[in-house]
Structure 1
Amino acid sequence: MDTEALLDTNDAVGLAALVRDRQVSAYELLDAVSARIEARNPIVNAFVATRIDLARAEIAAGLPDGPLCGVPFAVKDIACDIAGLPTTAGSRLFADALAADDGVLATRYRRAGLVLVGKTNAPELGKNASTEPLLHGPTRNPWRLTHSAGGSSGGSAAAVAAGMVPAAHANDGGGSTRIPAGCCGLFGLKPSRGRVPDDRGLWAFAFPVAAHHAVTRSVRDSAALLDAVVGPVPGDPYAALPIPSAGSFLSALAEPPVRLRIAMSTQAPGGGAVPTDLVRAVEHTAVRLMDLGHHVEEAAPTWDAGMVARASAIVMAASARAQIEDRLAVLGRELADDDVEPFTRFLYDTFRNTTAADMHRALKDVERAGRQVAPFFDTYDIWLTPTMAMHTPFLGVLDTTNPATMGEHGPNATRFTQIFNTTGLPAASIPAGMDSRGMPVGVQIGGRMGAEAVLLRLAAQLEEAAPWPWQPVWPPAGT
């Protein structure tokens, strides 16, 4: 059995079927993935910690007979604990932090039979749309090593795009799953608020704006992985959303498509120009959707972009400040100059005097934005946009050591994605070809609360009509 070929030509669902049929073993897949990580990670810098020997021992002890049994899987190094591995959140302040036990997500991934092989790189505290932390160094995009893999789930996206694992965990507080998916030619879904539980129930930024899920090669992998982690834990602050009538998200993909009302827009919320080739990708996708029988017209929801930007900044900064202060309390010392990066320090200092009333108003504005946007989906089932309002940036463009660059370029990464975090509505980035510079382009589809099955079915239609490449990008350009 050519395990290398199997990794290159099968997604996670396909590999699980091969393991189940005994055409390949979990040991063989792990050995092949281990060899790839050893050879490829020094070039791409996607992984920051591995656990190959522990994973091999877990296979020997017997894996749960779950739907993804035997498939290697990676976890992002933010807000997802694996016992015994670092949980650094990309920060020097947390460099020595180790997880004592598995969190909710790792427990559910294991229950599905996944083999957890390590943790992937992320920017400090997830506060960047590019993965370039000072602690671990930059993750390079396998499509072109001079470019960013996106953020904050850039390590996971690079690991999948480079063929080191077939799929990987991601989370998304402003576009952090969709942006890396777009940059790396992958599928990335941000679920609805409350669909997937927070890992520990103690990451305040996870509610009400962030959500856990994955970056994948295929739509069906995203559906299968969503099935593995959905469902509340006792004490969750939001009611559980209903599962699809088909019984699972994977089963929902087999339901016959229905004609959808799709709104398309390429005007960047809050202003700013969108590169012409990214606009064309949306237009080409719209034509394809019409060919598939859907109704498409130009329209967009409206909301107070300035209000959302202010509220998001307060919530983001409050989260960062609390994380830092809680860590310093554990360490029993004051914040040192080299503990955090300049942009994180900027957030920490700028919002030092934020009051409880300020936070209350910000959370009210988050709710207000949801009430402004949600009625749009009474008229339309889907909103189609670019994933980003900028090309995949070179490394160094979003530079956390120079906060001015974050203010200059950061909004163009999140103009289309942030509103789905603020409102809690689901959205996904779908591969849509290449830009004029030869880098992947993503288009975004979003829908009403709880509409993941609709998004997944539509994405699967596009995947079937115009398949995107599954082959890993290796060797990458620039080597």
Structure 2
Amino acid sequence: MRGPDAVATAAAVRDGETDAHAVTEQAIARIEKDNPRLNAVVHTRFEAALAEVAAGLPDGPLRGVPLLVKDLGTDVAGLPATGGSRLFAGATARHDSELVARCRRAGAVVLGTTNTPELGLNASTEPALFGPTRNPWDTDRSPGGSSGGSAAAVAAGMVPVAHASDGGGSIRIPAAACGLFGLKPSRGRVSPAPRPTTLSGLVSGHHVLTTTVRDSALLLDVLAGPLPGDAYAAPAPAAPFAELARRTPGRLRIGLLTALPAGPDVHPDCERATRAAALLCERLGHDVTETSARYRPDDVGRTSGVLMGADLVAQIDAGLDRLGRPLADDDIEPFTRVLYEAYRALPAADVSRALRRAQEIGWETGAAFDRFDVLLSPTLAQPTPLLGTLDTADPESIYRHASVCSAFTSVYNVTGMPAMSVPFGHDSRGLPLGVQFAAPLGGEGVLLALAAQLEGEAPWGTPPAP
């Protein structure tokens, strides 16, 4: 069962209703109780966290809030930094990433790291290194990916908030699968420092998974802002995101998408939830108009694949250089090897063409915002799959199923636009569904305000007790 959200936890610590030591011990107890069933947390630092609490935490907006960090692309000093891959199983982070450092300076208590598919390459969290993470709503089902460990931990109530990242839907897909709120910020909103990821960073971004909109807004205030020297930065918000989330969104023009050109079939449950969300938006005074997309999911996938694939090759080669040896048969999973071999042979001109195409897709998608303030669609075209459906030992299966998972989400990675998954209803099995809203670059404030409005009208629930 979920406990108080991060905002309420920090307020209780600040007001003396509880203390950070008690909150930390309670979170540790929940992890120790539920993690054997869910396999969401892969590395812990409980003793170090308790020692930090005893030494005194910074008096910031997250003081005393327990936090988990995704084990991919973001380092926690002293913990393994595996990316879910056997190739990096021996790597240990020497320093905190900037994101983790900002959370610590805000008073958060970092308890450990969460499971992720190998190098974030799967829409389900089932790495060979650590084994599958299970969805708290149904442990036979996937929690989504690649932030599935973080999603399962938050949905189960281990912690109120957990770090996540999104290169094709990896915040929004697990949010939809686990009944959470998941916002992918604008390109450049959160610094990736100290990991240089210019190519993959064009499509990938960092934030958190939460149970409430106000937590997401608060964390974005903590995390947002470029470091001097960052390759790009999002437009500065008009006010703190926590304040923007409390404002009325006004009367929005919302474009409704329920199908894509040459896209996958949309399950009736997913379409039904999206249309129900559209009706609620109309009742709230917004103007909703059906529209069509100008992009094809396969084109978006190819473009994104080149940008992330080039970085994948560099990442694996750097790991091999540190080890001083060639790639061994069991270093990486079969699907990862297929991608590595394909993109290692990629001509440089193809990377340039992908960058050009990404800009064209941005303009094509952006044209919709001449007519609309926000676009609404399903987050997922199909309900949450069973574990084992996205099997990295079968690359063809991964290609087929992963493209269905990311059909509605990946375009906003390629364009850099913010997008969020909002819990909305359940499928015929009683599992949560999510609907996606997207806005132009820099539009997180509008999305947060709309999400808070929807949260007030149609609050989302918690998983049933095991």
SS in 1 for 2:100: helix
In 2, Cα distance between equivalents of 1:9 and 1:165: 8
Aligned to 1:274: 266
Aligned to 1:431: 423
Please give the residue correspondences for 1:105-124 in structure 2 after superposition, counting only pairs within 5 Å.
Answer: 105-124=99-118
Counterpart contact for 1:270–1:415, Cα < 8 Å = no
Shift of 1:301: 3.4
One-letter amino acid of the structure 1 residue matched with residue 426 of structure 2: M
Per-residue CA shift, 1:229-286, capped at 9, x if unaligned? 1000011111341123xx3000112223300000011103532210001100001000
Per-residue CA shift, 1:59-103, capped at 9, x if unaligned? 111111111110101100001111001110000000011110111
In 2, Cα distance between equivalents of 1:336 and 1:183: 34
Counterpart contact for 1:268–1:274, Cα < 8 Å = no
Shift of 1:474: 5.5
SS in 2 for 1:384: strand
Would you say 1:390 and 2:382 are equivalent positions?
yes
Aligned to 2:231: 237
Of residues 194, 202, 220 in structure 1, which corresponds to 2:196? 202
Aligned to 2:95: 101
Aligned residues: 466
Aligned to 1:227: 221
Aligned to 2:323: 331
Of residues 27, 30, 33 in structure 1, which corresponds to 2:24? 30
Aligned to 1:283: 275
SS in 1 for 2:425: strand
In 1, Cα distance between equivalents of 2:387 and 2:319: 29
SS in 2 for 1:145: coil
- Which sections of structure 1, spanning at least 5 residues, go unmatched? 1-6
Of residues 315, 318, 325 in structure 1, which corresponds to 2:310? 318
Distance 1:389 1:106, change over 3 A: same
Aligned to 1:192: 186
SS in 1 for 2:222: helix
Aligned to 1:3: none
Counterpart contact for 1:76–1:169, Cα < 8 Å = yes
One-letter amino acid of the structure 1 residue matched with residue 5 of structure 2: D
Counterpart contact for 2:172–2:182, Cα < 8 Å = yes
One-letter amino acid of the structure 2 residue matched with residue 466 of structure 1: A
SS in 2 for 1:296: strand
One-letter amino acid of the structure 1 residue matched with residue 435 of structure 2: V
Aligned to 2:37: 43
SS in 1 for 2:344: coil
TM-score, normalization by structure 1: 0.95
One-letter amino acid of the structure 2 residue matched with residue 326 of structure 1: A
Aligned to 1:264: 256
Would you say 1:380 and 2:357 are equivalent positions?
no
Shift of 1:349: 1.3
Counterpart contact for 1:81–1:199, Cα < 8 Å = no
Aligned to 1:251: 243
SS in 2 for 1:351: helix
Aligned to 1:413: 405
Aligned to 1:152: 146
Identity among equivalent pairs (%)? 52
Of residues 211, 214, 219 in structure 2, which corresponds to 1:217? 211
Aligned to 1:448: 440
In 2, Cα distance between equivalents of 1:147 and 1:199: 34
Aligned to 2:77: 83
In 2, Cα distance between equivalents of 1:163 and 1:377: 37
Per-residue CA shift, 1:147-200, capped at 9, x if unaligned? 000000000000001110011000000000000000000000000001111132
One-letter amino acid of the structure 1 residue matched with residue 336 of structure 2: T
- Which sections of structure 2, spanning at least 5 residues, go unmatched? none
Would you say 1:468 and 2:460 are equivalent positions?
yes
Shift of 1:305: 4.1
Per-residue CA shift, 1:1-34, capped at 9, x if unaligned? xxxxxx8342110111000001011111111111
Counterpart contact for 2:248–2:450, Cα < 8 Å = no
Counterpart contact for 2:165–2:207, Cα < 8 Å = yes
Shift of 1:304: 4.8
TM-score, normalization by structure 2: 0.98
Shift of 1:475: 3.2
Counterpart contact for 2:260–2:292, Cα < 8 Å = no
Shift of 1:203: 2.7
Aligned to 1:4: none
RMSD: 1.2
Per-residue CA shift, 1:324-380, capped at 9, x if unaligned? 111000100000000000000010112231011111111111111111111211210
SS in 2 for 1:431: strand
**Moved beyond 3 Å, runs of 4+:** 304-307
Shift of 1:306: 4.0
In 2, Cα distance between equivalents of 1:187 and 1:8: 14
- 254-263 or 264-273, larger mean C-alpha shift: 264-273
SS in 2 for 1:330: helix
In 1, Cα distance between equivalents of 2:56 and 2:300: 48
Aligned to 1:126: 120
One-letter amino acid of the structure 2 residue matched with residue 10 of structure 1: P
In 2, Cα distance between equivalents of 1:180 and 1:462: 19
In 2, Cα distance between equivalents of 1:340 and 1:454: 41
In 2, Cα distance between equivalents of 1:116 and 1:199: 18
